Amino acid sequence: MSLKETKKLETNRYQLEILIDGEKFRDAIKEAYKKNGKKVNVPGFRKGKAPLHIIETYYGTEVFFEDALNLLYNDAVDEAITESGLKVIDDKMDFDLVSISKEDGVDFKVSLTTYPEIKLKKYKGLKAEKQEVKVEASEITAELKTLAERNARMISVEDRAAKKGDTVVIDFEGFVDGKAFDGGKAEGHSLELGSGQFIPGFENQIIGHAIDDQFDVNVTFPEDYGAKELAGKPAVFKVKLHEIKIRELPEIDDEFAKDVSEFDTLKDFKADLKKKALERKNKAAEEAFENDLVQQIVDGIEGDIPEAMYEKRLNQSVEEFAYRLQSQGMDFNTYLKYTGGTLDDFKKNFRPQAEMQVKYRLALEKIAELENIKPDDEAIEAEYKKLAENYGVDVDKVKAAVPQSELVKDVAVGLAIDLVKANAIVAEPKAAGESKPEKKPATTKAPAKKAPAKKPAEKKPAAKKTDSKKK
């Protein structure tokens, strides 16, 4: 197999003419016969027992040409791409057969898209602001309060009537024109008064009632209510109140610290909360600083980036999103139906992000090339171990799944952004009407990875309904 010709068709588009010699092709025909000859019927022979030359005589010499070419095609194209020195973007190639024969072999052409040749205006000495961070005592107090609310317990009260903010346990059944309707009945339902879970007016009419009270709640369904047969109609709900509960917050003291953390004193717990809050803010400031630098580099890219690169990134975004949905028990197509969107809508929304990711990667790969950044064996091994820890699998499995050549690129990109940050000028945020001196960055941390998007928590419907489109 050999590369006969490399021809540039247009920007980032090339055509390779590839030859497979006759001997190689004849060997592939024999291999194809061994795999598929047993499926061939020839009169006078049992099925699959006819010799190759008999099958070729009966069906034609070219009977196994396609199978033979399929056996050789991938290796032939890979070898030709390597020989051409082209860096190919995708596997979608246009195929054109020039000639094929048992004696002379195969001559074919493939057209493919290559990575663009880009230029960068500047990537050293860039200037970006870096926020100086601090943690206020009020932030720690607020965080402790949130933890206390999470650890609150519900206790029953029996010596007073229900009021706003209470959680009540009720039975109810709804009637329109004197008839019960579907979905309007429940027993032992917990409802926080003032939460707005039920239709307007329902919760307010429970306020003031005591345990064991039985009473009517009169409401009118909204005009835009999801169930059309109920929209705009007056209704009566028969209600019985069984229980009134309130949230009791724990005291924020040493005992609370022991319950919610590994610390024995509230003082130590506060110190740890402050430390972690400071780390989060520093990380956010570092990311904002890095993003500013990256945007400047991306804005300075010169070169035509092929559409195939954006499309490939968009397809990867779809796959990643579908994987996250699957881990949450939802199919991607079901998600599209649920949201009333289409695949094209989804890609359109992700387009700006995909363009930024493609340009960002190209820019950093170019920097790695210009600076001759080559990760050593220790850095590669460390990255493999990191991936293994992140996915909870053995290092050898990661090595089998991720080629070292690809991992080298990823590590080089990380080192490239470190180089950009190390050579950047940190401009402190300016106060109004004031100019501050510049200083060099003290750290050059690698970019942090973002966590997968979490699925929003679902509210359980009570008496209020919504139609499927609104949901």
**DSSP helix/strand/coil, 426:** strand
Question: CATH number of the domain that 182 lies in?
Answer: 3.10.50.40
Pairs from 377-381 (Cβ < 8 Å, separation ≥ 24)? 379/411, 379/415, 380/404, 380/407, 380/408, 380/411
Q: Using an 8 Å Cβ cutoff, are 145 and 120 in contact?
A: no
Going by the DSSP 8-state scheme, the letter that residue 243 receives in this structure is: E
Verify that 333 and 295 share a domain, yes or no: yes
Verify that 217 and 309 share a domain, yes or no: no
Q: pLDDT value at position 46?
A: 83
Going by the DSSP 8-state scheme, the letter that residue 152 receives in this structure is: -
Verify that 318 and 396 share a domain, yes or no: yes
Verify that 426 and 312 share a domain, yes or no: yes
Supply 55's token pair.
């099958």
Pairs from 394-397 (Cβ < 8 Å, separation ≥ 24)? none
| 359 found inside a domain | yes
Q: pLDDT value at position 41?
A: 87
| 366 found inside a domain | yes
Verify that 212 and 300 share a domain, yes or no: no
| 134 found inside a domain | no
| 254 found inside a domain | no
Domain count, the chain: 3
Verify that 272 and 395 share a domain, yes or no: yes
| 340 found inside a domain | yes
Verify that 243 and 309 share a domain, yes or no: no
| 293 found inside a domain | yes
Q: pLDDT value at position 454?
A: 36
Instruction: Per-residue pLDDT tens, the chain, 471 aa: give them.
Output: 789 999 999 989 999 999 999 999 999 999 999 998 888 888 888 888 889 988 889 899 999 999 999 999 999 999 999 999 999 987 678 999 999 999 999 999 999 999 998 999 899 999 999 888 999 999 999 999 999 999 989 999 999 999 999 999 999 999 999 999 988 899 999 999 999 889 899 999 999 999 999 999 999 999 888 788 888 899 999 999 999 999 899 999 999 999 999 999 999 999 999 999 999 999 999 999 999 999 999 999 999 999 989 999 999 999 999 989 988 888 898 888 888 889 999 999 999 999 999 999 999 999 999 999 999 999 999 999 999 998 888 988 988 888 888 899 899 999 999 999 999 999 877 654 444 444 433 333 333 333 333 333 333 333 333 333 332
Cα–Cα nearest to 463, from 173, 212, 62, 127: 173
| 147 found inside a domain | no
Q: pLDDT value at position 430?
A: 64
Q: 347 lies in which domain range?
A: 268-439
Angstrom CA distances, 54 to 43, 61, 64, 158, 327, stand at 10, 10, 13, 96, 55
Q: What does pTM read for this prediction?
A: 0.64
Task: Decide: residue 362, CB within 10 A, 0-12 exposed, 13-18 middle, 19+ buried.
Answer: buried
**Residue-wise pLDDT tens digits, 6-64:** 999 998 999 999 999 999 999 999 999 999 888 888 888 888 888 998 888 989 999 99
Going by the DSSP 8-state scheme, the letter that residue 304 receives in this structure is: P
Verify that 283 and 367 share a domain, yes or no: yes
**Residue-wise pLDDT tens digits, 161-174:** 999 999 999 999 99
Question: CATH number of the domain that 86 lies in?
Answer: 3.30.70.1050
Verify that 231 and 186 share a domain, yes or no: yes
Question: CATH number of the domain that 282 lies in?
Answer: 1.10.3120.10
CA 339 to chain centre: 17
| 121 found inside a domain | no
